[in-house]
């Protein structure tokens, strides 16, 4: 595939902050375009974003430097050459940057071009993006849907970042969204009856009520499932890194307290014995490996997802697998910087028996490529956000379109034993 034109532009994401879009044209007339998301809850081991740093413009968050890098540095080297596949292009992008964390050109710079190339290749082959990307048995992913938010997604009124619902009894993706809708609107009704705010939503579209404790959030979510007539299945995104300082966890709820890893683990164990929790993300901080090991040993039946822990990085995931830590990885493409490196993580997880959950970011765009990646990878799960904001619905609606191809919805398989390293 010969590239003839490479464009880049500064757009705005779902938080109204600048983000980057790249557009590739091929000699045959195919066009590929992709926009890059950005996170608020970011791990320090992620690929670095390229931001302008000019406080007088978008508070320093502009991406004109990244636009210039694509136009002036990458385009002259990429255009009018015959590229055989995604892996070749992505390897060249990584070589151009030359750093482990993409700090020279920026993870957002490389990812915009990487994803635009995937779109262009799909257009060149006249295939839907999910079909072009498919390397295993594609399937519709089970949605893990935001219901109540705290942490960095909703002003920190709750220590935990997200309380989510999984429609595990659904037989189709369309039915899964129907159950999600029923639970979400039942939850809103119950919150309003108790005098909590529901008109405003958090970064990912969930409710952000000022509840006194995480336990009350869990109680409301269970009650909402019962009110909707749906089997409750809860997932937590603790995002513990963001209240971890100097080796301890600093909690704000109920007057505040400072606790050790053991206390955090025991609280999660107690919650799993009390509530229908099936999944916990970032239950401990990104570098609290001892705490993670303790959690993994005590909750082998729970899906334990590493987000800040693994940051979609093959080296960190391999370290976790060897240590028997967690049993699942959250896959966020902009954490690593290219599509090919993301596939390395997906393949590594599958080979080790770890689960993968393809995830959006809190700063999203209306681009729907994430839905195609979730289907193509056969990961079986997707975490996008609530059903109230268009940048989230773009992904859900794309999955409804893809379902028309006759693909099955991934079934939830219980974890009966810990993953062995």
Q: Given pLDDT bands bounded at 50, 70 and 90, which one contains residue 39?
A: confident
Q: Given pLDDT bands bounded at 50, 70 and 90, which one contains residue 154?
A: low
Using the structure block, give the residue that is written with the tokens 């014995």.
273
The answer to whether residue 131 sits within a structural domain is no
pLDDT of amino acid 420: 42
Do 99 and 149 fall within a single domain?
Answer: no
Pairing mode, if any, of strands 145-149 and 162-165?
Answer: antiparallel
The answer to whether residue 173 sits within a structural domain is yes
The set of catalytic residues is 204, 332
C-alpha–C-alpha distance, residues 34 and 116, integer Å: 5
Do 148 and 108 fall within a single domain?
Answer: no
What pairs with residue 7 in β-bridges? 23
Domain that holds residue 195: 142-403
- Three-state DSSP class for 406? coil
pLDDT of amino acid 155: 58
pLDDT of amino acid 421: 37
Do 150 and 90 fall within a single domain?
Answer: no
| CATH number of the domain bearing residue 47 | 3.30.390.10
The answer to whether residue 414 sits within a structural domain is no
Do 159 and 286 fall within a single domain?
Answer: yes
Do 177 and 309 fall within a single domain?
Answer: yes
194: Cα within 13 Å, side-chain hemisphere: 17
- What is the average pLDDT score of the chain? 94
Pairing mode, if any, of strands 234-237 and 162-165?
Answer: antiparallel
Do 159 and 245 fall within a single domain?
Answer: yes
Give the chain's domain count: 2
Residue 261 has pLDDT above 60, yes or no: yes
Q: What is the tens place of the pLDDT at every residue in 225-253?
A: 999 999 999 999 999 999 999 999 999 88
Do 253 and 387 fall within a single domain?
Answer: yes
- Rounded to the nearest 5°, which phi and psi values hold at 209? -70, 150
Do 120 and 147 fall within a single domain?
Answer: no
Do 167 and 248 fall within a single domain?
Answer: yes
| CATH number of the domain bearing residue 296 | 3.20.20.120
The answer to whether residue 179 sits within a structural domain is yes
Q: What is the tens place of the pLDDT at every residue in 339-351?
A: 999 999 999 999 9
Do 174 and 93 fall within a single domain?
Answer: no
Do 336 and 307 fall within a single domain?
Answer: yes
The answer to whether residue 137 sits within a structural domain is no
Do 152 and 122 fall within a single domain?
Answer: no
What pairs with residue 277 in β-bridges? 234
The pTM assigned to this predicted structure is 0.94
C-alpha–C-alpha distance, residues 225 and 269, integer Å: 22
pLDDT of amino acid 416: 57
Q: What is the tens place of the pLDDT at every residue in 65-92?
A: 999 999 999 999 999 999 999 999 999 9
Contact 167, 276 (CB under 8 A): no
């Amino acid at each position: 595939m010969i590239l003839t034109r490479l464009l880049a532009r500064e757009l705005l994401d779902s938080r109204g902050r600048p983000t980057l879009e790249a557009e590739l044209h091929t000699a045959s007339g195919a066009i590929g375009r992709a926009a890059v998301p950005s996170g608020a809850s970011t791990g320090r081991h992620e690929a670095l974003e390229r931001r302008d740093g000019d406080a007088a413009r978008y508070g320093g968050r502009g991406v004109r430097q990244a636009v210039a890098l694509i136009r002036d540095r990458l385009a002259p080297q990429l255009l009018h050459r015959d590229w055989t596949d995604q892996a070749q292009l992505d390897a060249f992008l990584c070589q151009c940057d030359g750093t482990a964390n993409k700090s020279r050109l920026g993870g957002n710079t490389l990812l915009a071009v990487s994803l635009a190339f995937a779109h262009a290749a799909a257009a060149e082959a006249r295939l839907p993006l999910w079909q072009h990307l498919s390397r295993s048995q594609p399937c519709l992913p089970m949605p893990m849907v935001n219901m109540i938010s705290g942490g960095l997604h909703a002003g920190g009124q709750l220590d935990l970042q997200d309380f989510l619902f999984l429609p595990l009894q659904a037989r189709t993706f369309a039915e899964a969204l129907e159950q999600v809708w029923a639970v979400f609107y039942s939850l809103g009704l119950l919150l309003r009856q108790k005098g909590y705010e529901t008109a405003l939503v958090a970064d990912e579209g969930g409710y952000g009520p000022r509840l006194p404790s995480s336990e009350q959030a869990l109680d409301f979510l269970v009650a909402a499932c019962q009110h909707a007539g749906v089997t409750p299945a809860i997932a937590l995104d603790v995002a513990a890194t963001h209240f971890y300082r100097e080796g301890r966890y600093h909690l704000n709820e109920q007057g505040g307290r400072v606790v050790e890893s053991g206390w955090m683990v025991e609280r999660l164990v107690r919650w799993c014995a009390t509530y229908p929790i099936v999944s916990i993300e970032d239950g401990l901080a990104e570098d609290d490996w001892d705490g993670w090991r303790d959690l993994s040993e005590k909750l082998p039946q729970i899906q334990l997802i590493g987000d800040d822990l693994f940051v979609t990085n093959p080296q960190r995931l391999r370290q976790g697998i060897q240590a028997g830590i967690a049993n699942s990885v959250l896959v966020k493409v902009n954490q690593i910087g290219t599509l090919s490196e993301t596939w390395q993580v997906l393949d590594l997880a599958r080979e080790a028996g770890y689960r993968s959950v393809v995830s959006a970011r809190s700063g999203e765009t209306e681009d729907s490529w994430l839905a195609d990646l979730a289907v193509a990878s056969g990961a079986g799960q997707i975490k996008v956000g609530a059903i109230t904001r268009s940048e989230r619905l773009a992904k859900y609606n794309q999955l409804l379109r893809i379902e028309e191809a006759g693909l099955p919805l991934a079934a939830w398989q219980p974890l009966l034993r810990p993953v062995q390293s």
